[in-house]
Chain A
C-alpha cells in the first residue's frame, strides 16, 4: 500500500503518534486518514482541515483554538445510530478506526453555511438582543418568536436511538486522591505514598506527564522515573483516561473513566463513573492558557500558543507554514522555537511587553526570530483562514505599523490555574497581581468533616508555573493584557472575541456594564459569557477583566463566577449506568406473583410492588374483566392477593399506651382476638394512613397499613419511639413480607373455606365480624381475620410467605363449582367505593382530616392525647365550612371525572369561579349498574338531595346530586352474614 502523507503532517516528530499505523475515518462524508495516537483535531489538521465548526450565534467559521478540554470551537457529532453523540471535542477525542464525524451548527455544509448571514447582522445582535427585541407584541413571544428561536437554538442534535453501549459505576476509596498526572501530581503522589496510606492518581488524558514532556528537555525522562517509582508501590493506584469532574462535601469526588470509548467490541463497559471518598484531595490540575483579545482573534488559524506547540511536538502536525507568535509572557517563545525546529517559518514574535529579556527571548533572537516588543496585533486579516496580521503599538489605538503575511497565529495571554475542583466545594481564590491570575488561597481551603482543609493544590494549579524538581526554572514576568492594543477603538473591540462558542465580544461585556450589570454573575447571564459547553474555561478571566475595566474597578473587586461541577460534560448514560430497564429500581413481587402472571394479570405499579389490576380472560379488556370479577365476588366468591398490605407488630409492656398515641381511636382497650379499624394522623392533624388493627396477645398488636404506607408508617412509629417516648418499653417490627395474605370474599366464602381441612371454625358464632382466629388450613399455619373491604362476607388469611401459593392453589382447586374468581385491585377499589369506604390517597391528599370524612366515630373522645389531637383543635380544623364527604350521583348516565370541581356562585379575588367541592373517587358500578362517586363538599352532609354543577374542560356542565356515600348494603347485612 502506498503511504499517503497528508499535506500538513510534518516529516518527523510527534511524540504521541505512531506513524506505522494509519487510521481511516470519515468527516462530512469525505474519507480521510490519520495516525494511531491522533486526536480528531490533529488528524483533521494534518489533512489541511483547519475549518472545524461554526460559532453558535454568528455562524463564523472557526478552527481549533486549543488542544485540550478547554476547546470551544472544534465540536462534532460523532458516531451513528444509537452511538451518535453531539458536541464531542475534537481535541480530546482519540481517533479510532472507521470513525464517522459530522460538523455541527451549519447548513447546508460547513463550507457554505446559510446561517453565516448572522455574521453580517452582528452589529444589530448585541448582548441582550433577544430580551430587548422579542418582548412586544406580547402574544408574539409564545406563537412566533419562541418557536423560531427554539429551532435555531441548541448546539448539535440529540441522538434518537437508545444507546447500545454498557456503562457502569464503581465506588473508590483512598486516603489521598491526586487529580492530575503531570509532574506536580506525580511528585505529590510520591510524597503522599512515602507517608503511607493509599494513593489514587487520576489523569484526564491517555498520557502521563501533562505539559512537561512537551515543554521541557528531559521532561519525559523525569515523568518516566516518577511513574516507575509509583508503579513499584503497593499503596498507589494509577488511572488514566479518568476525568475528575466534581468535588463535593466531605471529600466526595466524581470521576469518569473512559474504558472503551469508540471501541464497542472491547468487551468492556464504555465508561465507568467513579464515586470516590477521598481522605484528602490534592489537585494538580495544571493551568489553561488564555487567549488575547485582538480584533478577529477568532479567524481559523489563530490558536493558543500552547496548542500550536502541542500539535507540532505531540502530533507532528503543522498548524500553518508561517506562524506569527503574539504574547505577553515568555512561555509562548517556546512555541516559536518549537515551530522553527520543526522547519516552519516564524516571521515575528509580537510581544506586548515593553521589553523581553531572559533565556527564552534570548534563545529566540539567537535563532534569528524577529522580536517586536511593545507591539500588538491590530487585526487579523482573512475570513476562512489567516492571511496576514496588521501590527501596531500595544500602547496605541491600533494605527498600523506593518503587515506580516502568515497562515497561523499562536497567541498567549498568560495562564490561569485550573481551580475548578478547589472551588466546587468552597475553596476560595485570591487575585495574584504579579502573575495576573486567580489562584487558590491556601488559607481558605475546602473543609472536611473535621473542619480542617481537605484539599491541597500543587504545581501550576496553584499558580506555580516554574515546573518542578530538577526542571524548575523562572521566567520573565507576565504583563496583563486584556485588550490589544490598549486604546483600541470600538470598531476593533467589536471584533475581539472573549467567548468563542457563544460569540461574546469585548463590546458585549462593555455594553452590559453600561446597562448596569455590575455583578459578574449578572453579566454572565445577560451576555451568555461562559455559558457554552466549555463553561468559559478560556473566556471567564478575560471577560471579567474587561468588565472590571468597564466598571473601573480592580479585578478582585469583580471576582469570579461560581465554579460548578462538572468540569467537563458527563454523558447521561454514565450517570444512569446500569440503573435502567429492569434494574432501574427493585421490583417487589408477592409470593403469588407467578400465578397471577400465568392467569392473565394486567399489572399495576403500587409503590415498588406490582399488583394485578385485573385478570384478563380471552379477548377481554380491562373494563370487562373488572366487571366480571366484581359480579363474581358479589354473587359467589373471589380471592384478592392482599400480601402487599403493611403488617407491623407493636409489642411490649407499653405497647397499648403507644397504640393509643398512634391511632385516633382507643386501641389499648381492644380485646385479644378482636379487630378494630383505625386511623393514623400526622402531628399536623391530617389523616395519613388507615387499616385494621388486631390484638394478638396481651402485649402485642398487629397493625395493618396501606400498601404504600408500610415502610413510611414503620418509620413514623420508630421516630416517635426513639426520639420522643424513648423510655416506653415497646418494640416494632415490619413483618409485611413475612406473610402472604389472601382475602376470600363473597357470599360463598365460608362455604369454600369449610371445604378445606383444618382447625379453624369459620362460622358466624365462632368467628364473627371483626375478630380473628389462629389455626391451620389444609396443613398450613394460618391467622384468619374476619374483616371486609369489599362489603361481602370476607376472611383475610395470613400464612407464612412461602406457603402462600399453596393456599391460593388449594382455594382455587376447591371452588370451581362456586365460580371462584381471582379479583384485582380495580375490582377492590370499586367495591369499596360502592360501600362508601374511603381510600387513603383518593379521599385524602394530605389536607384532609378524619372529621372531613365523617369518621368522627373513629376518634376517641376519652383519650387525653394522640398524635394530631392538638392540631385538630385549631380553628380552621373545627370550622363548620370544611368540605365533607358525601356520595354523588350523576343526573345522566355518565361517570363524573375524578378530581372534577363543583362550582359555586360568583368569582374569587383572582376572577376565578368559586368552588364548593370536588370529586375524590368515581366509577361505573357494576353492582348497581350506574355511575357512583364520592366527593368532598362544603356543608355536604347537610345538603342531601341538592344538585351540584361540575363544568367540564369542554365547556359542557355535568350535574350530580348529593347522596349518602354508602351506595350498597347500607345495613351491612352482607359483611355480617
Chain B
C-alpha cells in the first residue's frame, strides 16, 4: 500500500516532466497520452487507497528526511486518512476530467504540450499538499500550486491582462503565505515539531498558553493558539480568496478555461478550506479565531455574490459565484462544521468544475466571445452543454435532491445552530446569499441559453484582439466535440447524486473518524444537526417547505422576470440605484485601493528610500561628503605649496618663532 501512496503524486509528476521537457519534440497525442495516463493512474490508485482507508487502515509516515537542524527534524511524508483520501479522489477525478476536456479546448493552441505539463504538475503539487503529514510539506504544496497557478493564469503570456493577473495572483497569495509561514513558525516554536499528529495531540495542553509579542513585556501577552490560528487562517484567506485577499481570483479568469475549472474553482482555491479542516484540533480551541473565520466567510459569501449579479463576462459570473461559495465553506468552518465544509467542498468541486467547463464549451461555441449579452438561445444549438449547465446551476442554487442542496442546506442549518460570536450575521448572510446565488446563476443561464439570439451582431465592433473574435453575422454556434461533452456528462452525474449518496456517512456517520476533531462540548453543532437528520430523502422533501427553498425559487423567478419576462427592468433598476451600481461595478473599489495605495505606495516608498536614503544621504552626504572634505582640505593645503621661496622663508621664520614660544611656555625652567 505504501508504494501506492507514492504512485499517486509521482505518476502525474512523471507526466508533467515528460510533457514539459520534451514539449518541443513530442507529438501532441503522445504528450496528452502520457499526461492523462499519469493522472488516470493517480485516480485509480486513489480509489484503491480509498477502499483501504474505508476498511479502517490509515497511514502516517515519512518518505524521507528533508532537513534536520538543532533539535528539529523536517520530513516529507504522507498522512492517509479519510480526509486526505476524499481530497485525493476529488482532485484526481476533476483533474482527469479537465485533462480530457483540454484535448478539445486547447486543440488549436501552440502551447498544447506545455499546457498538459502544467496541469499535470499542478495535480502533483495539489496531491502533495493534501497527502502531507506535516506543516512544512503543506507549505511546499501550498506554494507549488501557487506557482502553477501563476504559470497558467499567464499561459497566454503575450496578453497584457494575463500577465498582470498572474503577478497579482502570486502577490496576493504571497500576502497570505506571509501570515501562514508565521503561523507555522509559532507551531514550531511552541510545539517543537511540524508533524501534524504530535502537534494535534499536544494542542489541548496549550489551550490556555500565552506568549509575549515582545519578549519580556508582559503587557503584550496574547493567546498562543488564537494567534497561531489567525495567522494560519491568513494563509487560507489568500489561497481560498477570502475578502480582502480575494482580488486575484476574478482576474485569474485570464487563464484558459480548463484551469479555471480545475485550479480556480474545484481544487486549489479549496486548499485553504482543507487546511483549516485539517487543523480542526487547533481551531477548536480558539473561539476568537473561529469568530474571525465565520465573519470573513460570511462577508465573502454575501458581498462577492452581489458582484456576480452584475457581471457580463460568462467566466466572471462563475468566478464570483466561486468566491461566494468559498465564503459558504469558510462559514461552515467557523461554525465548527468542518465535515460540512469538506462536504460542500466536494459537491462544489463537481458542479463548479462542470459549470466552468460548460462555460468553456459555450465560449468555444461562441468563437471566444465571453460576453453573455451577445449570447441567447444557445439551447437549440448546444443541447449537451445546455443540459449539463442546467444541472450544474440547479445544483449550485441548492435545488432539493441535487448535491449542492445537501451541502448548502447543511451549512445553513449549522450556522443557525452555531453560537460562536458573529454567527447571527453569518446566518443572515448565508440566507441572503441563497437568493443572490439563485439570481446570478439563472441570470446567466437565461441570458445564455434562452431568449432571443443576440450573437453575430457585434462581430464588427469587437476589438482587434484576435483571441476574442466571436461569431460572424449569420454564423450559428455548434455543439462542441465529444472530448468536451463527455467530461461535462461525467461531472454532471456526481453533481446530481453525490450529495444524496454521501451525506449520511460524511456528516453524520463515522467516515472522517479522527481526521476531523470537534469539541462537542463547546461546539455541539454537528451533534444537533445529526439529531434533526432523518435520512437524505426526508431532508430533501422537508426542505420544500423551508424558507431556504423559497428564497432560491424567488431568485430564479426574479432572474426570469428581469431577463426574459420584462427585459427593461434591469436598466430601470440600474438607473434607480446609480451609486450602488457604481459601487458594484467597481467591485467595492478594492482593486483601485490596492493599485493606488498599496502598489503605488510601495513604489513611492521605494523611490523615496532609493533617491533620498541611498543616493541622497548615504552616497551624497556621507560618501560624497567625505570626498568633498578631502578635496577641500587638499585645496587649502595646496595654497600653502605656492612654490615661492620668500613665502617658504617667511613660513620658516614664523614656525621657528612659534616653536620657541612653545618651548618657552612648556618648559619654563630651561
> Bound pair: A and B?
no
